[in-house]
Chains A and B, each alone.
Chain A
Amino acid sequence: MMTATWRWWRGILITFGVLAALRFVLPLPFMNEVLIFSIYTIGCNFLLGRVGFISFGQPAYLAIGAYGTAFYLFYFGTNPYLGILVGLAAGVIFAFIVGLLFVRLRSDYFALVNLALAVIVFYMFQKVLAGITKGDNGLWFLTNIASTPILNLSRPAEFFVFVMLLGVAIWAFYKYLDDTVFGACCLATKLNETKLEFLGYSNFRIRLTAFVIANSTTALAGCLYAIYLGFVSPEMTSPARTADPVVVTILGGVGSLLGPIVGTVVYTGLRDVASKFIGNWELFVGIILVFIMMSNSGGLYGSLEKLLNRWKRVNG
């Protein structure tokens, strides 16, 4: 029925509607950044809020996607859409291979190993592969991006429209996931592994799938960054950056669908405002993080509990 469909889409459409409206109020660069960063965060949010895995290594996947796109545009072609596809493909493959190894680990080892991964990837792009990545200087390919029909991605205003559409699609996808058995399984895999196995599900496969989905989304955000900035550098996966998606996830509410967007707006806004006064990046992030964690009386998994109750009701 129309009303059911409307109710399903309501949250997403309203949020993106607000974002579209804000585009005319706030600076365009800010809005573009917010959109891309939100996409970056939703992967982390999904991993933490549904599967219960925290990853300090999101920047690694961001960088893989970004550099995939960058390589294509720098060395091969000029079509940004193809660039995105290449970067995304790289992200999916990388996430799959890494996931095969990582997903079996206990949550604390998982987090640490992902952190190590981010550092390794950083090192790879900065030094080891400096021949093709030009190391710290980064790759510049802004001029390489061709104009494309319908939406010219090389122009920020049209890029914004593209990312908006993409965003709606992505959020709809994650919302859809939530409603499926798969979504419920992800939750269950965190809360009661043994029961899930008894029910005939493979924890490993569920986690791997969730891992690949989440990190491919992150890689996609990397591709978008590459197109938007026309530039990539190893800095995007430097150790200082590993906390970004985690902070935003917590700010926006772990496990909440629209949380990444809210969290990103708040975070990016605060950062831009505060950097005029504090100028000290790490201090700012660190204090926010500790403050949020300490004041989080519902616990990090407070929102998770609500989801658990929903799952219980669904499954009787």
Chain B
Amino acid sequence: MAVKPVMVGQRIKRREDPRLIRGLATYTDDLKLHGMLHASFVRSDYAAGRILKIDATRAKALSGVVAVFTFDDLRGQVGPTPCWVVLPGMKHAPHPLLADGEVRYAGQPVAVVVARDKYVARDAALAVEVEIDSREAIVDPEAALQPGAPLVYEQFGTNLAAKISNPHADTERLFAEAAGTLSLRLVNQRVAPVPMEGRAVVAHWDEGPQKLTVWTSTQTPHACKQNVAVCLGISELKVRVIAPEVGGGFGQKVPSYGEECLLPWISRKLRKPVKWAETRTENLAASAHGRGHITQVEAAYDKDGKVLALRGHTIAEFGAFASMLGALIPTFTHLLAAGPYTIQAVSWETQAVYTHTMATDAYRGAGRPEAAYNVERVMDAVAAKLGLDRVEVRRRNLIQPGSFPYHAPTGAIYDSGNYQACLEKALARFDYAAAIAARDRARADGKLAGIGVATFTEICGLGPSTGTAAPARAGFWESAELRVKPTGAVTVMTGASPHGQGQETAFAQMVGDAFGIDIDSVNVVHGDTDIVTHGVGTFGSRGLVVGGTAVHMAAQKILAKAKRIAAHLLDTTEERVSVEQGVFGVAGSARRLSFADVASAAHTWGIAIPGEEPGLEAVARFEPTGTTFPFGVHFCTVSIDKETGQLTIERFLSVDDVGNIINPMLADGQRLGGIIQGLGQALCEEVRYDESGQLMTATFMDYAMPRAAMFPRIELDTTCTPSPLNPLGAKGIGELGTIGSTPCLVSAVLDALAPLGITHVDMPLKPEKLWRLIREAQQKSGGAR
């Protein structure tokens, strides 16, 4: 009996792809149900104001319009928008599904039109007359905290939604003892996650069985099911949520939104299926944004450049309401504030602020990119103050390999790491000395050239569940169910909800290896709450770490029973049965059984096995004992055109450690995508509102997306320090790229601008901004070029 080649660790082509490359996958907007109606939202043109009148007469008169609903129709029946994280002392106001008298951001849904045709629905939405007595809006989060600022919620008397405070007893002493201190004001601008498929929902209330089915483009179908049930006040047994093909999420599709709760209500009311797919402008205006932190960070350091303590104050934009997990995001910034460094004390305070803007929530990295950006800027600034090399400063500050598990002063426990090995590998691969020489030659020729570095760690594999908000009735574990068919083929049902990550392939590799079966004998099912055992979802780099571990655990349970069955068939005891890749044997005998033999016996039950039930299946849930801490080192080189401010990334190297890898091809994809997304924030992306709260970046004409020609070929390498916290040794990979690449690029640009005496720049690094900085610096130095 031949042992199959091991699949884990191999570059195996994705099983998802054939349907995707042929255009035959079914995304939510591709669904067409009999009698389906189309919804279109009327959204507020103003950021702040009181609704005086909503007149739908003209809209209702259009042929094909079925209904127009406003808050008055919903009152007491459905809502509010799901919010799972309410911090202690947080000023929280329920956010209605449609505006209740007040509008608080431009793009807020005010009314919804339902029509037989999509075009008519849009015509009718435009024909609804909404009269709003607009008032002064507050957009700038710093100004929002000033006395007399316009208030988003009058009843609170302040725009301060919550204060998150994590003081450390040693901070003040270390600042007093320090050889030097510095202070930086750092803006981590608001950006839009922009999955290429916007949000979309089809809701179908089936009056016969009294059952609601909701197809929605989400990362968390089980959470959505609970939210819809709560919002409508019906049993969750009556709700089935299906996440069909999902065209990217990046955190934006973690929360459940008002539209996801409203469409089911409409469908139940009208007893017809109803669909809504957002436009890109709706996506940019009314799907959660990310980042939006303004931070003042102070660092105390000794004469050798060792950073002793950090004191941080962050103003975090909440937007106009608390999105489902919005309040959770800054807490990650606090936990990761010390980065991969031996900083002894960190005191951090965040003020979460309401403004008349769209809410913020998770965006790839969710609080950790902000932390990494802060501490990397500090490292560069310390190097500049002391005239030290930036890599040398990091080397002096990195946590030593023997220190794990490492207890950071923030309370985080870093599971494992070897930062030095990763740094040394990156230095060699990048050829740091040669890069410096090349940069200096370019400078000597009068060019602006720079080298960027970032050494970072992050928090992945969320859970554990401890501390999860009670209203959620959800932990941060993950589920897996494996059902073995009589032929030995296996269905894997995962509570994770992949939407591009490739887990239909990765999990099949794992299960195929566990049972010694072909990958085509494994089918991975996800994203259907009526089929899949209750699960959590895909976010926070947890798909493999938590979801994959649950799959592994379920496979082990099946192997344990299979072994007992095999023992019976082989006339031996369980202890004497050996199993390797699905081949069951017994010492001293040539008899072997395949996994298919055992699966068949488990189902035919020709020989009854005492104490066992027929069949072969298992459910497992993995509750992590802690988070994992992948890490990496990024280097890049840039040049800046003095005349135009145009920034060119010439080289970018990423050496990362994510522990063990199931499929290196998928891992490369996750890293490359994340790196470009992180560089997108550094280079060009920015959500902008004008002073009155009008969104200035409402299409791709104004919201600058990273495009193919903006980047060089990214160089990838790895080191491997398996995580001790899960049997796979995996650490999580989804968010890694966005955490290291952003500070790395800013580091390079500041290095390029250093000869001009420029020490600070905020993202995004658009040519116009760089050109102005260069011009000002040149004028200061007497106009010399």
Is B one of A's binding partners?
Answer: no
Residues of B within 8 A of A (CB): none
Residues of A within 8 A of B (CB): none
